[in-house]
Structure 1
Amino acid sequence: MNARLTITATCLVLIGVAGYSGYHLGALHTMPATSATQGDRKILYWHDPMVPGQRFDKPGKSPFMDMPLVPVYADGDDAGNGVNKGGVSIDSRIAQNLGIRTAEVKSAHMGAVVEAPGNVAIDERSIRVIQARTTAFVQHVGVRATLDPVRQGQTLVTFYAPDWVAAQEEYLAVMRLPVSLQTDLASAAKARMLQSGMTQSQADAVIRTGKLQSAQSIASPLDGLVTEIAVREGMTISPGMTLFRLADLTQVWVIAEVPEAQARSIAPGQTVTVSATAAPDPVQGKVDAILPDVDPATRTIKVRIVLPNKQRRLVPGMFASVRFENGDRQDVLQIPTEAVIRTGQRSLVMVDAGQRGYVSTEIRTGREVDGMTEVISGLRAGQRVVTSGQFLIDSEASLRGTSERLETPVTASAPSAPSTPSTATQEHEATGRIEAVNADSLTISHSAVPSAQWGAMTMDFAAHDAAQLKGLKPGDRIRFRFHLAEDGTAMLSSVQPAGAEGGQR
């Protein structure tokens, strides 16, 4: 009984898997292109603009997106994505759904602007070192941690100095003598207190009160923070010993790292704008010096900027963005930086050419300022370029060979005619798994194809002849090469087992 139940359950699972696989492959399988008409226009096939490599022989709902399939017409002007005299045409409804926006090419002022990152640092000119002036015993320390804030006049340390006590007692003893004997001795006793290391204010306190000041203290000479503490209660300090280092933060430095190629436009005294997260508004500063220090890894030069910091919002170590702007401005053609497609070897934009659709155009770029890029050549004022969705359009243009036709004229051929690789046709290579072997094509689940700007997907690849498909079966892992025909069909050039070095079919 258990054996029968097991066999029955296994059969049901296999039937379910087979049904699901048949539906999945049927949904992804490319339909053969057939001719249809709409009014006076001939329809070649239907496709999903988001997956342009898949073709269907009748209208319906896309299996990939929640949107209807779009017809592609024989005259090249289609209701979705299609090539029209070197351009890609998109219906206004589809363009709105895809969020495609354009901007006008304009001539406007653009100055020489350099933006560089930087870090806030202490103005080293404001650092004050507090040292011991005599041998003493520390009784109390007013600040106990590095980076504690201090105020001007705040007691930093209190100590007992035997040498100072002796000098004070000598002076007080002289002051108890008859007045006739004090003239020369009083002056010598005052000088003795100063020579022992007491400050003028400490000596004046003894003279004014006429009392022994056994506990002496050192006060902060500025408002700032403590950057170093080298004394603790109970310690014995000696002359010349550093007790504290203090820094004033009412003025700070910003050290900016500027690319050495752009440093020639920067000069000492130049006004700059510094933006920091801690500062609600940009702060104006001045270039103090261009330091003779080049980072060998980043090829940047350090530029020191003096920045006011009255509210002490900026503290050492904070990140800042520095903008160096040259007042010399000139009119140049410019477009939004987001419109530029950079391939690594060249810069492209998608130009709205009206009835011709969106045309891929190569440009030369210059400076970039405030989100705008200077156009040296390739565009003229008044043209409109795509600023959002251009990568989708460029991907479709690449699939259909638009970029190749812009550079090399190619004789158009009928969509149904087989195409063969030529020296002007770009070859692409990928790996994948065969899902189905058809009469004249393979259905392949392949990995991403960077050279064609494709992501991983399952699609059909047409074969030049049946010999290419001989010996192949579903489930085989293969490495294959292909190219795109005039109508966007992916044509197999060679197929070989994955990992094999030779044996092309």
Structure 2
Amino acid sequence: MSTRRYRRRSRIPLTQGRKPMNISRRLLWILGPLLGMVAGITATLLYLGDEAELGRLSLEAVSDAGHVPSHQHRTYVCPMHPEITSDTLGNCPICGMDLVPAKHHEEDAGGDSGRPAVRIDPEVVNNMGVRTAKVRRGKLSRRIDTMGMISKIISTRNVEVSPGIPGRLEWILEKDQGDIIRKGELLYTVLSPERIRAQEEYLESWDAQDNELLPQLWKALNAFHFSGPDIKRLEETREIERIYKVVSPQTGALIQRLGRPGDRVIAGSPVYTIGGYYKVDVNAEVFEQNWAWLKFRQRAVISIPSVPNGVFEGFVERVNEAINFKTRSLTARLTFRTLNPMVKEGMVADISIYARPREGVLYVPRDAVIRTADEERVVVAMGDGRFRPVIVKTGVESGDKVEILEGLEEGQSVVVSGQFLIDSESSLSASFRRLDSE
């Protein structure tokens, strides 16, 4: 009994285990072909959909360009970073902006640059922030900023200002050493009894018509600094000049002051010593890009940081023709005059040289010029969303303006913002054309 029961129980799991396995195999054999058919139909539909999309793009290219190109590419670019391109939509990995489509429109060979013109959708142009400027003709000026060093200081003759007559100082100008004194400025006054007595004696002889004594008294008044008109005025007005005024004979800086009010002075004792102008020479280094602008007698502003209020105006006195090949610079000697005794040899100066302006120059904004190792280009806006890179030859620069010698005409529009992306698009179109020709 126990053996039969065991065998009967052992058949049950064997029988139950076979039934699910047989059903799975049958479902696999039935559903397998159906899944294959579905996959084939799906692939066929996708293929037909791509063909239809390609056909639609080809028709658009035909209507736009007039012919069907052998390669129609849809490229997506970042408006802010033109080097970021993709074949699919997405975001820029640098700034996170949405990539936008750029439509290529090939025309002719693109002139001397060998690059075709491109057409960009207005929406893309707006997103790129494309700005243009006109090619103009006008005046270019240049300020050459450089550095220099004071090489030589030549001082003019110092002048000692003495009263020329004996007397007593009544008043004296309060000035400190180094202060500027102007020519004709009143320095001090002298009360001279001898001078007063000489005037009184002359008037007495004039009234007496003493023709023998008058010539001698006339000479005496001359010794007290009376001129012929001064004596004539004394005869007419009979007013005795009691105070003698001493003025500065030149403009200069105060070097020394002697005496105070009430001090006795003699004719030759100096009360003031005034120094004249200092002629200062400055050697300035002018680098190669500014040589074409540098000329003789150009105005220059010299600023010496170590001197308070040390800004002086001078001019270019000489341009040394010898070139320093290590620094690629010329030495220009500038000169200026100053009364400031604090200016010393060896001081460093900041220099601005104002070159003469050039008239009738064809120029574009500096931002419009794309510079590479081999050439310089600008992107010309042709209208209707079309742009073309053009090789140019540039001349001198002045601030934000660049002279154009060849490649452009007055009145043309050039791109000053977004030109690098457009130039890249044109380069990509040129590459596609080379592939087509191969």
TM-score (norm 2): 0.48
More contact order relative to length (CA 8 Å, sep ≥ 6): 2
TM-score (norm 1): 0.43
Larger Rg: 2
The structure with the greater share of residues assigned to strand is: 1
